[in-house]
Amino acid sequence: MNTVNPLYGRSLAVAGDLSVDEQRYLYRKTRELKENWRKNRNLESFRIRDPELAVYLMFLENSTRTKESFRNAACFHDVKLNVFDASSSSFTKSESLVDTVKMLFGYSRRSIFIMRTKMEGVCRALDEQVGEYAERIGMEKPVFINGGDGRHEHPTQEYLDEFTFLEHRNWDDSHLHVALIGDLHHGRTVHSKTEGLKAFHSVKVDLIAPEEMALPESYKSRMQENGFEVVEWGSIDEYLDGPDVSDTWYFTRLQLERMGDEIRERETELRKAVTFRKSHLDRLPEGARFFHPLPRHREKPVIPSFLDSTPLNGWDEQSVNGYFTRIIELAMVAGKLGDDFNGSSPVPESKEASFVSEVPVTRKTHVEDRFKVGIKPVENGIVIDHIAKGQPLEEIWNRVEKIRRILNLNVRSSHGVFHTNNPAEFKGIISLPDKQEISPTELKKLAAVSPGCSLNIIAESSVIKKFRLDMPPKIYNFAEISCKNPECVTYPEAYQHVTNYFFRTGGETFTCRYCGKRHAYGDIWDI
């Protein structure tokens, strides 16, 4: 195992799995490779050459470019290439992905799996599940590269797109003004742009799509959080009437196979809004160039074929770049390249930050004074106070009931809604005279379900300890929570046996670690 090279053995589940420095390293090396290849020079320093390294192409959804460029990249490297035939495999006998992969990686000393699935978050899940298994049996952890997972991400397409933009700009990474056009809702290549565009120091993004195909809010806010300027337009016509038209247009096709019937019925009208026409030509800025991850619809392409032999065509060179970037990606994760990398790598996940803080008990309040309105005073026990403080009454009652259900509080207790010191403001209280202790798991559940509440430990009718509970930074492995994206690898009915895991993002939203779906904190709960 190569311990110095930070790129060795890394899985690429999302574009952000490479830091910006690492992405730039990838582009630098690809540029070197492409130049040497063009000049017919020796390329040995890029080649892995290891018959014990297996590259598995596992494409459970159709693919042309991603699959063929990875296949050719693997052949370049002189490694063991396996093309997995999903249609005749045990998937048709309902085998789980992890069982299949565990078997395959036992055949070689080192393995790289390139996966395309409808299910989202598969590479992250396999990286963890198989990684743990590999450690247990003393094998080297396999690498998983996401070749497109549902509507989620397509990191290696992203890297080739950014490489192409840089190449087109003659390697100037100071600024990029890009227009993203088409089905931004379902298009995973666009979603990966939230992290990939960070390769440029300043970024302006114009989103051009009718509402039905608009970029999901969560990706838009991530772009804004990354410092991009984001402007939205409903159609190409509207955009061309605007004041600041970009010279870099990135089209995506309508992903009909991922659309519901209602949207599909309006295909003609939606397609029109994002299809380029002859009449648009003289409104383009000078030097404009079009890109597209391809494939194009042969009958109704958003970039019509009369543009193929014009200087607007940037998409053909773009698709060839997939071969060069993917050679370098394989070389990086296989440890052939990376020894000379000296930038920063992604920040490791932070350790469990505290969400429980003890607050001083200012005076040893006698419980009879404090919890006197309607609740029987507790001599010894626990009182949960400030539940949903300041919220509408209905929300406070809901929260009280939710806490009771989630903590399974079928014990002697009382609860109610009371006003705070301010007679116009309310809060919930639950008092538990038979409960002397609360476990860390219960505390976490309580914090997750009712952030901002407080916990009073009462002995001999006095509050002896008081804790304030904030929203925990991570919530995982609770039976009562689940990701609400039916395409997520953790979705219970997917039967991939992946434990749910959410981390807190921006205030009160929780993001699924696997498929990236953002949930309002109340929505992760099933009960």
Find the shortest distance in angstroms from Cβ 63 to ligand NCD: 6
How many amino acids of this chain bind ligand NCD (CB under 6 A)? 11
Find the shortest distance in angstroms from Cβ 408 to ligand NCD: 44
Does 155 bind ligand NCD (CB under 6 A)? Our answer is no
Find the shortest distance in angstroms from Cβ 415 to ligand NCD: 51
Find the shortest distance in angstroms from Cβ 125 to ligand NCD: 20
Does 325 bind ligand NCD (CB under 6 A)? Our answer is no
Sequence letter at residue 425: E
Q: Is 482 left (phi over 0), alpha (psi -120 to 50) or beta?
A: beta
Does 196 bind ligand NCD (CB under 6 A)? Our answer is no
CB 114 within 8 A of CB 83: no
Does 66 bind ligand NCD (CB under 6 A)? Our answer is yes
What distance in Å separates the CA atoms of residue 401 and residue 387, rounded to the nearest whole number?
11
Query: CB-hemisphere CA count at 13 Å for 148?
Result: 21
Does 69 bind ligand NCD (CB under 6 A)? Our answer is no
What distance in Å separates the CA atoms of residue 160 and residue 320, rounded to the nearest whole number?
9
Q: Which of 110, 185, 188, 444 binds ligand NCD (CB under 6 A)?
A: 188
Q: Which of 293, 338, 433, 516 binds ligand NCD (CB under 6 A)?
A: 293
Does 154 bind ligand NCD (CB under 6 A)? Our answer is yes
- CB nearer to ligand NCD: give 17 or 161: 161
What distance in Å separates the CA atoms of residue 481 and residue 488, rounded to the nearest whole number?
14
- CB nearer to ligand NCD: give 67 or 222: 67
Does 294 bind ligand NCD (CB under 6 A)? Our answer is yes
Q: Which neighbouring-strand residues pair with 382?
A: 432, 457
How deeply is 515 buried, as exposed, middle or buried, from its count of CB atoms within 10 A (0-12, 13-18, 19+)? buried
- CB nearer to ligand NCD: give 17 or 158: 158
Residues 227-286 that bind ligand NCD (CB under 6 A): 252-253
- CB nearer to ligand NCD: give 65 or 513: 65
Does 67 bind ligand NCD (CB under 6 A)? Our answer is no
CB 340 within 8 A of CB 314: no
Tokens 């990286």, residue located: 127
Find the shortest distance in angstroms from Cβ 116 to ligand NCD: 7
CB 144 within 8 A of CB 17: no
Does 191 bind ligand NCD (CB under 6 A)? Our answer is no
Find the shortest distance in angstroms from Cβ 161 to ligand NCD: 10
Neighbours of 65 (CB within 10 A): 18
Find the shortest distance in angstroms from Cβ 117 to ligand NCD: 11
- CB nearer to ligand NCD: give 21 or 68: 68
Q: Which neighbouring-strand residues pair with 509?
A: 505, 520
For residue 295, is the peptide bond before it cis, meaning its omega torsion is within 30 degrees of 0?
A: yes
Does 157 bind ligand NCD (CB under 6 A)? Our answer is yes
Find the shortest distance in angstroms from Cβ 293 to ligand NCD: 4
Q: Which neighbouring-strand residues pair with 384?
A: 430, 455
Task: Name 476's Cβ contacts closer than 8 Å, sequence gap at least 6.
Answer: 499, 500, 501, 502, 513
Query: CB-hemisphere CA count at 13 Å for 278?
Result: 2
Does 189 bind ligand NCD (CB under 6 A)? Our answer is yes
Q: Which of 6, 148, 433, 472 binds ligand NCD (CB under 6 A)?
A: 148
Q: Which residues here bind ligand NCD, judged by CB under 6 A?
A: 65-66, 148, 154, 157, 188-189, 252-253, 293-294
